[in-house]
Amino acid sequence: MYPCELARHLSSTMASRRVPKVTSKEGASQCQEKHVVLLSPVGKLEISGCETGLHEIKLPKLSVLPNGTEALTRCELSGSVTSVPEPLQQCAAWLSAYFCEPSRTQQLPLPPFHHPMLQRDSFTKEVLWTLLREVKFGEAISYQQLAERAGNSRAARAVGGAMRSNPIPIIIPCHRVICSSGQIGNYGGGNLLKEWLLSHEKLQKEKLAD
């Protein structure tokens, strides 16, 4: 199934929800974590979560940059879609659209989040939510600028720590945070993956502008 078809298929049965919710950890002992793998243009994305919400996205480590012209047909969800909890379906649909047809991500619901880091009040949580809300597709922001937007202009180093701790990369777009010098900085999935994601967004944004 092609990525845009996968996104449409998964989203067709979902409620229309644009803003992700951060759900309570009450009853966490009953949380039954499920795992799926999305075969994407940049490799295998491991998605975990439960019926309540998304837990984590694990990125592959790239040794070489993928060929963009070949990658568009290589996005599919491993396993049966019918057995996947809705938050994981929403995550897979959103990511598939991100890689294939980025303009559609604005119409797709983001999954609710169910990770402790995004539930307890902290500067890290404020940074991640500020990044999700304010830094859009094809944009970039420096660690210093993000610190200022999150309410502490002297906390650029702490912003770097928040990016390293981000449990939901790509959806919470820590790849869009770069150095003030213009260098891309480090990335949990490796600098090659960060470079690819930034280039992908720049190219797609240019296409939409034409």
| Whether residue 4 lies in the annotated active site | no
Q: How far apart are CA 133 and CA 138, in angstroms?
A: 14
Angle at 154 between CA 153 and CA 155, to 5 degrees: 95
**First and final C-alpha spacing in the chain:** 28
Closest among 81, 111, 98, 94 to 15, alpha carbons compared: 111
Active-site hit among 50, 75, 174, 179: 174
Q: How far apart are CA 128 and CA 173, in angstroms?
A: 9
In which element (H, E) is residue 157 found?
Answer: helix 156-165
- Residue 131 in contact with residue 139, Cβ under 8 Å? no
User: Active-site positions?
Assistant: 174
